[in-house]
Structure 1
Amino acid sequence: MTPAINTARKAKIDFKIHEYSHDPRADSYGQEAAEKLGADPDQVFKTLVVSMDGSGGSKDLGVAILPVSCQLNLKLFARAMGVKKAAMADKKRVEKTTGYVLGGVSPIGQKKKLSTVVHETAKDFKTIFVSAGKRGLDIELTPDDLVKLTKGKFDRICE
């Protein structure tokens, strides 16, 4: 059980867990998930942790959740977060703050609650897939439940 699954269970939302055999040689964790789940890459969402202008503490980190088929637009993300600029967060800081390893970072059940933005196209799907907290494990849930669990919001963060 991962913190993401425990959080979803505790919230009493409907969700499904999907497990697949992760290939450590995979170039893209998200693309691998889409292929192995047999899902549309627009429906499989990756979780990126972003550093925003600030002092370097966890308060200046945010979470971007976007389709694996998209590239994060840092300017759009900064605008959605109400900050001047944003950059990808340091790998070690991501793992320490979220409690998850890269490639298995779930937006749900992170050690520290981070401000979260889900790309608006999530609303185009009845359900979406996000990491369930480890490589080779995804959770399928409604976009609204994801926003509820993360206390996030929908916005345009990729082209």
Structure 2
Amino acid sequence: MAKKNVKTNAIRLIEQQKIPHEVFEYTTEDGEAVDGVTAANKIGQPVERVYKTLIATAGKGHFFVFVIPVATELNLKAAAKAVGEKKIEMLATKELLSLTGYIRGGCSPIGMKKLFPTYIDETAESLDYFIVSAGKIGMQLKLAPADLANATKAKFASIIVSE
């Protein structure tokens, strides 16, 4: 029997800060990899409102969090420029859990082991709400982008590959 309303670190932190939010849960098959577009469909939300969390590095000890729309790609050059580095690369999946405390597909920008410099794509800045991972596969968190920016000390920047 699955326990309902399991609170993740992300949800606990949002509640501690009294940030208005909504939690969406959906089911996945065991071992099913769920991309953001599938997650959006499973919770009945527009794809353009669902954002994914990516971690990049500029070398030992230099880690950055990027929150971008699920149907887009991170522009590594633009992201490097936003964080003030010459070059960055995506973090290897095998390093994700030990660095953030989250697994691939369930990585939330909130509640990582450490607060890393966080950047939210500027497309979110004008939205009244968007949806990010709540910290585990099958859970999404709906909140205002400005509230997420305040909670993670994030900056808004142009960091996605443009069409």
Shorter chain as denominator, the TM-score bin is: over 0.9
Q: Give the alignment of 1:3-152 within 5 angstroms.
A: 3-23=9-29, 24-26=31-33, 28-52=34-58, 54=59, 56-57=60-61, 60-152=62-154
Distance in 2, matches of 1:61 and 1:153, equals: 15
Distance in 1, matches of 2:159 and 2:8, equals: 27
Give ranges in structure 1 of 5+ residues lacking alignment.
none
CA shift for structure 1 position 140: 0.3
Paired letter, 2:89: A
Q: Secondary structure at the match of 1:42?
A: helix
2:4 aligned with 1:2 = no
Q: Secondary structure at the match of 2:112?
A: coil
Q: Deviations over 1:8-62 (max 9, x none)?
A: 0011110000001124434x5211111111112111000000011x3x12xx110
Give ranges in structure 2 of 5+ residues lacking alignment.
1-6
Distance in 2, matches of 1:131 and 1:20, equals: 12
Paired letter, 1:66: I
RMSD: 1.1
Distance in 2, matches of 1:118 and 1:21, equals: 27
Q: TM-score, normalised by structure 2?
A: 0.91
Paired letter, 1:25: E
| Equivalent position of 2:3 in the other structure | none
Q: Deviations over 1:73-93 (max 9, x none)?
A: 000100110100011001122
Distance in 1, matches of 2:87 and 2:66, equals: 14
Identity of aligned residues (%): 41
Q: Secondary structure at the match of 1:130?
A: strand
